[in-house]
Amino acid sequence: MAKVLVTGGTGYIGSHTVVELQKKGHEVVIVDNLSNSNIDVLNGIEKITGVYPLFENIDCVDYVGMDRMFEKHRDIDAIIHFAASKAVGESVEKPLMYYRNNLVSLINLLQLMPVHGVKSFVFSSSCTVYGQPDVLPVTEKTPIKPAMSPYGNTKQISEEIIYDTIHANPSYNGIILRYFNPIGAHPSAHIGELPIGTPNNLLPYITQTAMGLRSELKVFGDDYDTPDGSCIRDYINVVDLAKAHVVALKRLLNIKSKQQVEVYNIGTGKGLSVFEIIHTFEKVNNVKVPHTIVGRREGDIEQIWADASRANEILKWKAAESVEDTLKSAWKWEKALKKQRQQKEKEENEASSN
Ligand code: NAD
Ligand code: UD1
């Protein structure tokens, strides 16, 4: 069993990964500055696994703070690096914030690895690096296209930084996972996605609309060159995605050769349209999602889905959850959030009346 540093471990994908790591007996140290997550996530993790993870509220951009963290939690075997800012629109408005947060965090970790004897590194990349591919599905050999946003650019640059660093340092090994579109929540509904403010992504917008928190979902375009005119994506269950990190870690810890970086697409291999997602969500959860068709969203890609056969063959990983169960888990989570809100309101009312 390994001792694993999970940066961004209270975030959406990080928290689900912490659960899967703990379930396999790994010891986890989370570093998160809570810039896009809530400390209560740690309770949710404990409810599922029975283990309250070690947690440090540190900004990965803070080299000295991270150095001290490694001193305190000695003998870390591997790092899974999720911590990053991820809102595409915001990255266009605040590019330097994105380059600083996403790149300085990464550089700090890579610099600190040899100082503290850490040899294995797993990185969260994105299918955004492929842009609109000429041939579908995309394999890891599909050419990288110029980034459409500063956020996308940070992922491309990060991949290059990881290649160069591992090439120069024979004692590192790394795995880059290119995620497609993660959706859903843990089936227990103790953890899930916590979008702050108006969601940008499709699924949280759907669940909030079904809950009545938003009046209607806007479908961004029905005039694409796809069977029903809406965009197509490869929607991957977040628990399946979390499990990909556990097998990637296992591979890194067992690797005998040196100076290695491997890249894997993590998707289902199946593309679904926006309308297919809406209609399946409505059907499996027996709720309505009021929606209207509006113009295309700037920068949207028409269609993309993964060829994940490399991960299937080498990592022995395969997406297992059906889209139906995944969409049920997303709805169960939205209902759990409603209960949490109501409980909080009740407590606040009681406190103000005392
Ligand atoms: P998230 O925002 O839920 O989680 C990221 C976590 O990192 C948050 O808890 C945030 O507080 C923390 N964080 C951010 N900057 C930090 C810093 N400097 N120091 C410490 N903590 C910091 O996002 P997520 O959806 O879980 O994404 C995780 C990773 O996966 C990110 O790198 C993201 O770019 C990548 N990714 C996400 C998606 C997606 O659709 N969610 C797709 C592809 C890639
Ligand atoms: C977006 C980002 C991508 C990032 C990914 C994961 C953009 C252009 N791309 O990808 O860089 O890696 O999130 O965080 O922002 N949709 C609607 N109505 C909505 C929301 C979405 O119709 O209110 C449609 C979109 O047009 C798209 C699909 O739903 O076709 C999925 O959208 P989204 O969840 O935002 O993911 P991506 O666009 O794939």
| Pocket (CB within 6 angstroms of ligand 1) | 7-8, 10-14, 31-37, 59-61, 82-86, 101, 105, 124, 126, 179, 181-182
Q: Cα(73)–Cα(344) distance, rounded to whole angstroms? A: 34
Residue 216 is which amino acid?
E
Active site includes 63? no
Strands (E) located in 24-102: 27-31, 54-56, 78-81
**Global pTM value:** 0.97
Q: Which helix (H) or strand (E) holds 250?
A: helix 238-254
List, for residues 144-162, the tens digit of each pLDDT value: 999 999 999 999 999 999 9
222 in Cβ contact with 292 (< 8 Å): no
Q: Exposure of 107 by Cβ count < 10 A (0-12 exposed, 13-18 middle, 19+ buried)?
A: middle
List, for residues 235-282, the tens digit of each pLDDT value: 999 999 999 999 999 999 998 776 689 999 999 999 999 999 999 999
Task: Report which ligand 1 atom has the smallest distance to the Cα of 14.
Answer: 26
- Axis crossing angle, helix 12-23 with helix 41-49, rounded to the nearest 10: 30
Pairing of strands 54-56, 235-237: unpaired
Q: What is the mean pLDDT of residues 317-323?
A: 98
190 C-alpha vs ligand 2 centroid, how far in Å?
Answer: 25
Q: Quick check: 354 pLDDT over 90?
A: no
Residue 170: which pLDDT band, with cuts at 50, 70 and 90?
confident
Q: Residue 133 phi/psi, 5° resolution?
A: -70, 155
